[in-house]
Amino acid sequence: MSVAYYVVLDVDDPGFETFVNGKAVARAADRLNALCAAQGLPPLDSFLGQPMDDFADFLDEDIPLPEGEDGAEKWFDPQEGIRLITALIAAIQANPAALGGSAEAVEEVLEDLAEYQAVLAQAAAIKARWYLALDI
């Protein structure tokens, strides 16, 4: 099974390609979240805004929601994501060993992050909101 993180916009036809492979980021998600914590950044996973019904469908089971949560989509301002991704790219470039793995794996993560950054910059230009979703 292959997992990928992808960008969802609140605009159906934004006029640009939103596809990002996202598999390298998914494979490195735990290390990326640890790097975020070490840098004082919000975790990448905090931008997962996929409706809980989608996760329930993936898992083929009901998912109990925390009190006060409705399980609806959570949208974010693209600038929040751009700030996080820019900081992650800088941290990885300064210390590639923080991700572990091969130089090729680190490069693949950097490529995914750069693609997210480009999509979010275009999203900001059209004032679209976004969230990360998981493709399982």
Q: Whole domain around residue 102: which residue ranges? A: 4-135
Residue 30 has pLDDT above 90, yes or no: yes
H helices within 40-127, ranges in order?
52-59, 78-94, 103-125
Task: Give 57's pLDDT tier (boundaries 50, 70, 90).
Answer: low
Q: At 82, which amino acid appears?
A: I
Task: Kindly report the pTM of this predicted structure.
Answer: 0.87
To the nearest whole number, what is the mean pLDDT of the chain?
A: 90
For CA atoms 41, 47, 52, 57, give the dihedral sign. negative
| Number of domains comprising the chain | 1
Q: What's the rounded mean pLDDT across residues 74-99? A: 97
